[in-house]
Structure 1
Amino acid sequence: MTLAQLGPRICIIGPSNSGKSTLAAAISQQQSLPLTHLDQLYHQPHSNWVPRPTYEFLALHDAAIEADRWIMEGNYSVSMPQRLDRATGIIVMEVSTALSLARYLRRCLFEPGHIGSLEGAQDSIKWSMIKHLLIATPKNRKRYQQLYQDWNGPKVLLNGARDLQAIYKEWGLTHPTQST
C-alpha cells in the first residue's frame, strides 16, 4: 500500500506509546496534511493531563474531522465512529506491551516536549498510565485488530517496530525531531 492510496484523511490508531504521534508528524510533514494529536484535544493545555469535558472534546474533534485533508492520531473510542466515517485510510499500529512501557518511561524521564505532548504539561510517571498499559491495552489491541479486519478502505497494519522502520523507508519519511 502506498501512502497516496490512504487518501487525504488518515487515522492512525494503536496502543499508547506505539509511535503514532511521530509517524503522524512525519506523514504530515511529507504530505502537507494538517496534523491533529487527539491527546491535545482531549486534555486541557497547561494541565497535568486533565481531561476536557466530553462535550468540549467532541466539539473540537468533530470540527477537526470536517476538514478536507488531515492526519489524526489517537484512539478515544467515544469519537472513533465519526472519525472513521470521514477517514479515507487507516494505519493500525501494534507494539508489545513491554515496548510500550519502555517508551512511556523513556518519554517521561528523558523526552520533555516530545512529539504530541500536551502544551504546558510536564510528563511524569503515573501509576494510572502504567496500569492502562498493562491491563487495558491488551483488550484494546483486540478491538484495533477487529477494526482493521472490518475496515473496507485502504489500510496498513504495522506489526511492531520493524514494520514501522520499514514503512518510514518505503514511504520516504523523515523522522521528525521536534514537538508538533
Structure 2
Amino acid sequence: MKIAIIGYSGSGKSTLASFLGQHYNCDVLHLDKIHFTSNWQERTIDEMANDISRFMLQSDWIIEGNYSTCLYEERMREADCIIYFSFNRFNCLSRVFRRYLKYRGHTRPSMAEDCNEKFDFEFMKWILLDGRSNKYVKQYKAVIKKYPDKTIVIKNQKQLNHYMKQVN
C-alpha cells in the first residue's frame, strides 16, 4: 500500500502517518524530516527530491507532507490512497500550540534532528493565513478533482477518529 498524506499544518498528518506506519508495518517518510537539517536549515529541492525518489522505490510507503515542489504530482499519482486533512485554521493553531507545549525545547519524532519545536509569529501566520492562500486551496482541490476515487478528506477530529477506527 502507498499512502500520501497532505493538508494543513497542525492538522495531524504526522500523527496519522506514524499510526498507519505501525498498523501496516510500513516505512513512513515525514517530509519535514528531509526538508530541514539541524537548527532549521533548509535543504535544496534536488536533495529532497533525491530522497523522495529513493523512498518511493519501495513497494509500500507512507509519505506525509506537502512540499509541492518535490515530486508532488508523482506522489499523488503513485499513491493508492491520498488522505487530505482539511481542518479549520483555528483548530490547527490550537493543535500546534498543544504540540509546542508537549515538545518545547525538544525535537518531535517527525522533525529533523536538532530542530526544536517552535511556536512563533511566522508559524502562526502560516497556519492562519499564508498556508491557506488561494494557491494551496486550489492545489488541494485539484488533487481531489483529479483523484476522487482514492482521496479521503478529513475535516475534523471526529472524522479522523472514525477513520482510525475503520483502519483497526
TM-score, with normalisation over the residues of structure 2? 0.89
Contact 1:22 / 1:115 at 8 angstroms: preserved in 2?
no
Alignment correspondent of 2:5: 12
Alignment correspondent of 2:28: 35
Partner Cα distance (2:14, 2:109) in 1: 6
Partner Cα distance (1:114, 1:155) in 2: 27
Distance 1:146 1:91, change over 3 A: same
Alignment correspondent of 1:48: 39
SS of alignment partner, residue 77 of structure 1: coil
Of 150, 156, 163, the match for 2:159 = 163
Partner Cα distance (2:151, 2:127) in 1: 25
2:125 aligned with 1:134, yes or no? Answer: no
Partner Cα distance (1:61, 1:39) in 2: 12
What is the CA-CA distance between 1:155 and the residue it aligns to?
A: 2.2
SS of alignment partner, residue 78 of structure 1: coil
What is the CA-CA distance between 1:135 and the residue it aligns to?
A: 1.6
**Count of residues in Structure 1 that have an aligned counterpart in Structure 2:** 163
Letter in 1 for 2:50: A
What is the CA-CA distance between 1:152 and the residue it aligns to?
A: 4.9
Letter in 1 for 2:58: A
What is the CA-CA distance between 1:153 and the residue it aligns to?
A: 4.4
Identity of aligned residues (%): 27
Distance 1:113 1:122, change over 3 A: closer
Alignment correspondent of 1:117: 111
CA RMSD of aligned residues (A): 1.6
What is the CA-CA distance between 1:113 and the residue it aligns to?
A: 4.3
Q: Which runs of 4+ in 1 moved over 3 A?
A: 112-115
Letter in 2 for 1:108: Y
Which is worse superposed, 110-119 or 143-152? 110-119
Q: Please, which runs of 5 or more residues in structure 1 have no aligned partner?
A: 1-7, 173-180
Alignment correspondent of 1:92: 84
Partner Cα distance (1:114, 1:165) in 2: 22
Partner Cα distance (2:109, 2:140) in 1: 22
Contact 1:109 / 1:124 at 8 angstroms: preserved in 2?
no
Of 56, 59, 75, the match for 2:66 = 75
What is the CA-CA distance between 1:108 and the residue it aligns to?
A: 1.7
